[in-house]
Amino acid sequence: MARRTAIRGFLLGLSLLTSGCMTTNPRLEPGKEPSTNSTVYSNGSAVGDLPREPGAVMAVVAEALGDLQMTELKRSRDGLSYLVEAQTKDGRAVRVAVRPHQNESRVACRVGLFGDQPLSSAVIERVGIRVGALPPAAIPESPPSQPSPNPFFARFSHSFDDFLRGRAEAPNGDEIIP
């Protein structure tokens, strides 16, 4: 009897440990077409899937970066993954990674240290247009950009007046109270 209880407890604990959060893909309603823009932005990086081989996608990355006024600095390859490092006009670093994923290419882009959602998404969109996976669109005159603020040192969160208001208005601010 004790052995059966121990086994049940072990199985219950194992099932609780192996269960977890899972994100599922949204279901399409009947009669609706899938969206051509499958770019997802999270944690400072934009990720999108393109229905082409990684080599073909990598061949057009430099052209897509040039469309958005970026200069390519370095290309590298690690196994099946490709990596391009570039720089924006204002000096921020850009990293574009192309990896194979289920007979397609998964393209990830990060701009700057903390990310730039419009510019990262625009890079993936331009790569999709250049490779022929998305319909043609005009090259923007100036790239869309909205850099994310530094979450550690928020320069514009409070003014010095707000920080010093309580100290300046205290009746006994110059006295030392033990």
Q: What's the pLDDT at 23?
A: 45
Write down the CATH superfamily of domain 37-135. Kinase associated domain 1, KA1 (3.30.310.80)
CB 124 within 8 A of CB 48: yes
Beta bridge partners, 98, equal: 82, 107
- Please give the share of the chain, as a percent, with pLDDT higher than 90: 38
Q: What are the backbone angles phi and psi of residue 102, rounded to the nearest 5°? A: 50, 60
pLDDT per position as a tens digit, 119-135: 999 999 999 999 988 89
Higher pLDDT, 114 or 97: 97
Domain boundaries, the chain: 37-135
Close Cβ partners of 88 (under 8 Å, ≥ 6 residues apart): 69, 70, 94, 111, 112, 119, 143, 145
C-alpha span between 87 and 74 (Å, rounded): 10
C-alpha span between 37 and 121 (Å, rounded): 10
Residue with token string 């669109």: 137
Least confident of 31-40, 92-101, 107-116, 135-144: 31-40
CB 111 within 8 A of CB 88: yes
